[in-house]
Amino acid sequence: MGSKANGYVFALLAIVIFSIQDGLSKHLGSNYPPVFVAMIRYWAFAAFAVTLAWRSPAGLRATAVTKRPLLQISRGVLLPAQIVVVITAFTVVGLAHSQAILAATPIFVALLSMPLLGERVGWRRWSAITAGLVGVLLILKPGEGTFDVDFLLPLAGALMFAVYAITTRLVSREDSAMTSFFYTGVVGAAAISLVGPFFWATLSGPDWVWMILLCVTGSLSHYFLIRAYDLLDAVAVQPLTYLQLVFASIMGVTIFGETLTANMILGSLLVAAAGIFTVWRERVVARRKAGLPPA
């Protein structure tokens, strides 16, 4: 197969494995403290990040050198906190509803890129942002009675990951992708290890199997995603990531007994369409600034 075909295969593998990982996180998070689950998962992730850095052409020592140490540490601390919030959301709100709200992350990235990155957003992206926010409101069901404060959990998770994405863009101006990945794993593992032991729990025999599988899927999903981005542009990968919402909905209904509402389905479609357009438009603008043709 050609490089692009391989890229799509890697992207699809990453999305399927991420979906399995979400289901495992919901199962374990329902029975054990989410901080504990995230800590064990992060230990495996850190080992994977160190291994990749060690085997990279630059080597471990060169990969660990950063020009933005404070920013790298900040984003390294932010991601495990976001994972804890997301696992909690899976258990409290549900897998399908949480993923529907988390799918709005590209919309929040576009919003935050204005004050934090100084980017200018034209009327096309503003229209997409507005449509995406309307979709989020539909998912939150504000017109069907009292607002459920539990929905603030996945909303916070989406905003936290948007900030993480913005800080990743900032450090990418001076640090390599491998350096950022290394700090994400190592700093994140160190940060959550300061808190996680206070929530230590004893896993049952079967749950040890699920925990090991969670750690394996966490490493594999990131590896395949890295390979996908090596071969494809973000504008090609982003539409595929919304399949994770489809898989989450299927698992939520068939395995965890969740219910899909008309508001959630319509809102998810709006969010996905707005997110795909936003990523595509960002690419067009970036190529125009670089003096390249739109396609």
Checking if the pLDDT of 287 tops 80, the result is: no
Looking at residue 142, its pLDDT comes to: 55
- Average pLDDT of the chain is 88
Q: How far apart are CA 21 and CA 214, in angstroms?
A: 6
Interval 16-47: pLDDT, tens? 999 999 999 999 999 999 999 999 999 999 99
Q: How confident is the model at residue 163 (pLDDT cuts 50, 70, 90)?
A: very high
CB 168 within 8 A of CB 180: yes
64 vs 237: which has the higher pLDDT: 64
Looking at residue 45, its pLDDT comes to: 92
Q: How confident is the model at residue 155 (pLDDT cuts 50, 70, 90)?
A: very high
Q: What values do phi and psi take at 31, rounded to 5?
A: -115, -15
Both tokens assigned to 4: 């692009």
Looking at residue 277, its pLDDT comes to: 87
Interval 266-286: pLDDT, tens? 999 999 888 888 888 777 776
| Domain extents in the chain | 4-290
Any idea what DSSP says for residue 122?
-
Percent over 90 (pLDDT), the chain: 54
Q: Which of 51, 13, 34 is nearest to 185 (CA)?
A: 51
Rounded to an integer, the average pLDDT of 167-188 is 91
Helix axes 262-289, 123-140, angle to 10 degrees: 160
Both tokens assigned to 50: 């160190």
Checking if the pLDDT of 293 tops 80, the result is: no
Any idea what DSSP says for residue 198?
G
Q: How confident is the model at residue 81 (pLDDT cuts 50, 70, 90)?
A: very high
Interval 166-177: pLDDT, tens? 998 889 889 988
CB 25 within 8 A of CB 37: yes
Interval 203-222: pLDDT, tens? 998 999 999 999 999 888 88
Checking if the pLDDT of 146 tops 70, the result is: no
pTM reported for the whole predicted model: 0.89
* Diameter over CA atoms, the chain: 59
Checking if the pLDDT of 295 tops 70, the result is: no
Percent over 70 (pLDDT), the chain: 94
